[in-house]
Amino acid sequence: MKWLLTILFVFTLEQVIAHTIVVGRNRHISTLRQGITAAKDGDTVLLNKGTYKEGNIIINKAIHLVGIGAPVLDGDNKHEILTLTGKNIVIKGIHFANAGYSSMNDYAALKIIEATNILIEHNVFTNAYFAIHIANSTGSIVRNNIIKGPDRSEHLSGNGIHLWKCENMTIENNSVQGHRDGIYFEFVTASIIKKNISEGNIRYGLHFMFSHNDTYRDNIFRNNGAGVAVMYTKNVRMENNVFDKNWGPSAYGILLKDISNSFIKNNQFIQNTVAIQMEGSSRIDIGNNLFKANGWALKVQASCDGNIFHHNNFFGNCFDVATNGTKTLNKFSSNFWDKYDGYDINKDGIGDVPYHPVSMYAMVVEQNPATLVLMRSFMVSLLDKAEKAIPCLTPENLIDNKPVIKPNK
């Protein structure tokens, strides 16, 4: 028994006494590869300032790799820099530069495969194909990283933060720009994405598919080539995000395709070509959002049903709502529309006349985009007025029965 206890004690001691290995130019250990090889589970590897070009390094034990003075790991434009697998690994304060590009493999500056409890923080990624690529992992945190892509064309660049088949992940306070997709999720569930800034990416600021039960909060998606596109997902919460200046022939503030049972609340949509485009989406609660100076605030295709739009504020959009069918299965209530010209006799703050957010011209443009050339013409305003008096083309059930007189808070 004593013997067994001793062994157990020694074993724990071995675990508890973590060593610190210092890697640096003029140190005993001068390459990161040696440092990693020497390290055991629970050790910390301190990487001193300098540039390290060591090809691909694999970490498969529970160590902390901490950079001092932002050491540079350079992939020489041909290697994947760091590959992580296992659990309890921390990567902190390192500058990953020039990761390789391949049309065969998804090379990443930092690739994490089949790992648990990983912490990636305060790193800088420049000129990478994929910056952070995480596959088949759980319970990890990626935070406070700065990612700057190479701004190459769409097929030559990868995603900033790319997650595939993960669970319980936290993506927080990162800034991504110049990649293909800023943040890309596929089969990522029960995760939290907050306070990130994704701007100036070539395709989407945020792009996810089959990623259920995720929460997106306080993020900013700005000036991305095609805005934000999310697909085939249920139970998503999107709150307090900003979708800003996503301009272009096929750019959307957010494109919802087959999204269901979700919440989109307190977001700001400013100056997008289309703020929200919805296709085949059901039972989404879209409330308390601000739509300002967009081309189209909402494009709700006839394939959407059971969605509720309430307490939103619409200011200065060219078109408030557009749709492509006459059947209406969605509900509008208590929104503020700046184009509303009804009255409120009993002063309860709710307009006494229902508001038709779909204008005749919005229907016309939906059918024949070339007619955009007639926008703001006398003819069009006459048509709109006539249609308002006697609706025949616009869906008559698509109305807000309780338009509020003053903007919602």
Partner 1 sequence: MLKLSRYVLYDILRSKVIIVYTLFLLTVSFSLFQLEENNSKAILSLLNIVLIIVPLISMIFTTIHYYNSYEFIELVVSQPLSRSRILLSEYSGVALSLLSAFFMGVGIPVLLFSFSETGLALLFTGAALTLIFTSLAFLAAVSARDKARGIGVALLLWFYFALIYDGLVLMILFSFSEYPMEKFTLLLSALNPIDLGRIFIMLRMDVSALMGYTGALYKDFFGSGTGTLYTTGIMLIWIVLPLLLALRIFKKKDL
**Positions in the binding site for partner 1 (CB under 8 A):** 247-251, 271-274, 293-296, 316, 318-319, 364, 367-382
Nearer to partner 1, 6 or 381 (CB): 381
Distances (CA, A) of 230 to 186, 205, 208, 294, 385: 10, 10, 5, 19, 36
Minimum Å distance from CB 291 to partner 1?
12
Residue 296 or 314: which CB sits closer to partner 1?
296
Residue 371 CB, nearest approach to partner 1 (Å): 5
346 or 367: CB nearest partner 1? 367
Cβ–Cβ under 8 Å, residues 136 and 113: yes
Under a CB-based contact definition with an 8 Å cutoff, are residues 202 and 157 in contact?
yes
Which residues make beta-bridge pairs with 391?
Answer: none
Q: Compare residues 208 and 252 and give the one whose CB is closer to partner 1.
A: 252
Q: Which helix H or strand E contains 291, and what residues bound it?
A: strand 290-292
Q: Which residues 6+ apart lie within 8 Å of 144 measured at CB?
A: 121, 122, 172, 173, 174
The helix/strand/coil state of 84 is strand
Q: How far is the CB of 284 from partner 1 (least distance, A)?
A: 23
Minimum distance, C-beta of residue 334 to partner 1, in the bound complex (Å):
23
Amino acid residing at 228: V
- Between 350 and 374, name the residue whose CB sits nearer to partner 1: 374
Q: What share of the chain is helix, strand, coil (3-state, %, to 5)?
A: 10, 40, 45
Cα–Cα dist 232/58, whole Å: 34
Indicate the residue among 376 and 406 with the shorter CB distance to partner 1: 376
What is the Cα–Cα distance from 38 to 34, expressed in whole angstroms? 6
Min CB(103)–partner 1 separation in Å: 30
